[in-house]
Amino acid sequence: MRKTLKIPGIDQCPVDDIVSIEGKGNYTTIFLKNGQSILMAKTLKKFESQLRLGTFLRIHKSYLVNKVNVTGHDLLETKTVKTILNQSLPVSRRKLDLVRGQLA
């Protein structure tokens, strides 16, 4: 399991400081606990392979979330996960059972 991740601008970022990662094509946006967001030219799949043994969970084709930074979820009606940054991230239908098992 990785403890740090190399991010431009932040030499070695602790994995626990990452709240969520959003993928958009060949780019990803990393959201940190301090409210900072960093855009990188790397696919979400590459981040998922680097962080798969850690506390990260793929909740949607465009989102990875750190389970440590999840404050709540509504998996029945809105099918969303809420983070400490007050983000409301969607959970896909295919990932719903997996997310229920990991967060419940």
Over its length of 104 residues, how does the chain's per-residue pLDDT go in tens digits? 678 888 877 778 888 899 999 999 999 999 999 999 999 999 999 999 888 777 899 999 999 999 999 999 999 999 999 999 999 999 999 999 999 999 87
pLDDT the model gives residue 50: 85
81, two tokens: 């996960």
Q: CB under 8 Å to 104, separation ≥6 — which residues?
A: none
- What pTM, to 2 d.p., does this model score? 0.91
Q: Find all residues with CB under 8 Å of 62, minimum gap 6, and list them.
A: 22, 23, 24, 44
